[in-house]
Homo-oligomer: A and B are copies of this chain.
Amino acid sequence: MAKTAARQPVPARRADAERNIAAILEAGMRLLSADPTASVADIAKAAGVGRVTLYGHFPSREALVDAVLDHAVGVADAVLADDSLDTEPAPEAMARLLRSSWEVLDRHRRLFLAADRVLPTERIREHHEAPLRRVERLIARGRHEGDFRTDLPLGWLVTTFFSIIHSAAQEREAGRLGAVEVEPVLVTTMLSLLTANG
Contact = CB atoms under 8 A, between A and B. Distances in A.
Nearest to A155: B176
Interface residues of A, number: 36
A113 B120 contact: yes
Contact of A116 (B120, B156, B162, B173): B120
A15 interface: no
Q: How many copies does the complex hold?
A: 2
B152 A188 contact: yes
Contact of A121 (B153, B170, B189): B170
Given A167-B163, A196-B192, A185 B153 contact: yes
A160 interface: yes
A120 B121 contact: no
Q: Could you say which of A121, A166, A173 has the most chain B C-beta atoms within 10 Å of its C-beta?
A: A121
A56 interface: no
Interface of A: 113, 116-117, 120-122, 125, 149, 151-153, 155-156, 159-160, 162-164, 166-167, 170-171, 173-174, 176-177, 181, 185, 188-189, 192-193, 195-198
